[in-house]
Structure 1
Amino acid sequence: MYRDIATKLVNAIQDGEFEVKLPTEAQLMTRYHASRNTIRKAIDLVYQQGLLRRVQGSGYFIANIQLRHKTVVNLSARTMPSSALHPRNLVSKVVTFDTIHTDAALAKQMQIDEGIELYRVIRLRYWHEKLYCLEKAYYLKSVVPYLSPEAVNHSIWDFLNEAYGIGIANSDDYLSLTNLTEEEASLMQLDHGATYMALDSCNYYKNNSLLDFSHTVFVYPELALYFHTTNLANN
């Protein structure tokens, strides 16, 4: 339950509902009909994403990480039940939605055997009518037996959380500069060989079991990448 409340708090922050600070714990307990312990765990999860500043005796203030950039990819937000990685209300254009079996190259990337059945989703995603990214994602059918077309067109992570109770427990993320392949350039109508930022992610759910692998190429203007680091020794 606390993860669901954390997601609602993130959404409220992104929507500007909480502009300066969070309501008190008592107010949040009333708002979400939850215990103090649940609220504290939800707040702590949001704090771990770098969206809050803790001020002793004054509560939690909103950390505005988007003051200098139009779009910030929050790479600290990798354990939320629904994806807090991207801006809200992205519009998706599905290029490919099918099932495949891993070949040698994909099996190596995912560190699984060849011939494993996967859902493959390739999407162009838009933010404020501008191309935001190209996303190629592969979900293990042994974990996700059914993936709905509606979810593919909107939020896959919301669907996985609601249908299967699956969220990201941890992830391995690799940032790199990539040169667009001919296929990628054609899909995004950009120059073949042009250099952009790419994120390769392997996401794991409970017991460190692999859920999916994704390759995302970001092309949105004025994009910024954000990391939040907490020094646990000083907490």
Structure 2
Amino acid sequence: MLKYQHIANEIEKYIEDHALKQGDKLPVLEKLMTQFGVSKSTVTKSLDLLEKKGVVFQVRGSGIFVRKHKRKGYINLLASQGFKNSLEEFQLTSEVLQLKVTKPTQEAAVNLNVELNQDVYYVKRIRYIHGQPLSLEESYFNKAIITYLNKEIVAESIFNYITEGLGLKIGFSDTFLHIGKLNEEEAKYLELEKDEPKLEMESVFHLNNGQPFDFSKVTYNYQQSQFFVQASSYSL
């Protein structure tokens, strides 16, 4: 875990330990720098991370304030690093159905901005929440960027491995939502009936330099899934 991530965890723990509520003010930036013995840039990165998670909000010239926490069990629809952080209080497990090095489909090649003869990792897995199927995932990872994957990594958090194991910085994602009906295969894996409703989320994840590295399609079990959206600001 990187230093700024550790500090972010400590600040979040401070909020929980002191039962701080919406609008309560946190110590000023300079005090946090002294408390953790780190630079201004490190504390700023920690606060930016917490702001993205919806834990705090910052008001220029006024300070750092606690933001009302998200509802328990809801998945952040705009998360750029997977949904595990949204469900960290829940028991999440994965069953790896397939992991292989292959060539991309035409659709995957376009979204990853790679050639059709370039190697990619193909991952297919089911995610479970408390033993119940939550989603069916199919992903293509650019092997030139994500140089190594194995079943142990895929069964846990691929994005944690990318940031901590490979040292890459994830930037942003483009997400497209489709409402439809389950086909026979999807229904089987999600333990539902064919033609029951589904939400399919198609995402392209990029590094902070803009390179796409992951093209994924996630089909959610409508009985297990709840979503929320956190916006940092609005322009009228």
Bin for the TM-score computed over the shorter chain: 0.7 to 0.9
> How large is the Cα RMSD of the aligned pairs?
3.3
Tell me the residue number matched to 1:192. 194
For 1:52 and 1:129, the matched residues in 2 are separated by 32
- Contact 1:2 1:39 (8 Å CA) reproduced: no
Q: State whether structure 2 residue 77 is matched by structure 1 residue 75.
A: yes
Q: Secondary structure at the match of 1:71?
A: coil
- Contact 1:71 1:222 (8 Å CA) reproduced: no
Tell me the residue number matched to 1:87. 87
Q: Secondary structure at the match of 1:143?
A: coil
Distance change >3 Å, CA 126–CA 36, structure 1 → 2: same
Paired AA for residue 48 in structure 1: K
Distance change >3 Å, CA 107–CA 59, structure 1 → 2: closer
For 1:51 and 1:36, the matched residues in 2 are separated by 19
Distance change >3 Å, CA 131–CA 29, structure 1 → 2: farther
- Overall identity of the aligned pairs, in %: 23
**Range that drifts further, 38-47 or 57-66:** 57-66
Tell me the TM-score normalised to structure 2 length: 0.79
Tell me the residue number matched to 2:125. 123
Query: Displacement of 1:65 after TM fit?
Result: 1.5
Any stretches of 5+ residues in structure 1 without a counterpart? none
For 1:176 and 1:3, the matched residues in 2 are separated by 36
CA deviations on 1:130-183 (whole Å, 9 max, x unpaired) are 222111111111111111322111111111112221132111111221322222
Tell me the residue number matched to 1:155. 157
For 2:140, which of 135, 138, 141 is the aligned residue?
138
- Contact 2:134 2:190 (8 Å CA) reproduced: no
Listed as ranges, the matches of 1:155-174 within 5 Å are 155-174=157-176
- Contact 1:19 1:62 (8 Å CA) reproduced: no
Query: Displacement of 1:31 after TM fit?
Result: 6.2
- Contact 1:92 1:123 (8 Å CA) reproduced: yes
Tell me the residue number matched to 2:102. 100
Distance change >3 Å, CA 192–CA 51, structure 1 → 2: same
Tell me the residue number matched to 2:68. 63
Any stretches of 5+ residues in structure 2 without a counterpart? none
For 1:182 and 1:61, the matched residues in 2 are separated by 45
CA deviations on 1:111-144 (whole Å, 9 max, x unpaired) are 5432321111111111122222111111111111
- Contact 2:75 2:83 (8 Å CA) reproduced: no
Number of residues of Structure 1 aligned to a counterpart in Structure 2: 228
- Contact 2:135 2:218 (8 Å CA) reproduced: yes
Paired AA for residue 192 in structure 1: K
Distance change >3 Å, CA 9–CA 133, structure 1 → 2: farther
Tell me the TM-score normalised to structure 1 length: 0.79
For 1:193 and 1:233, the matched residues in 2 are separated by 40
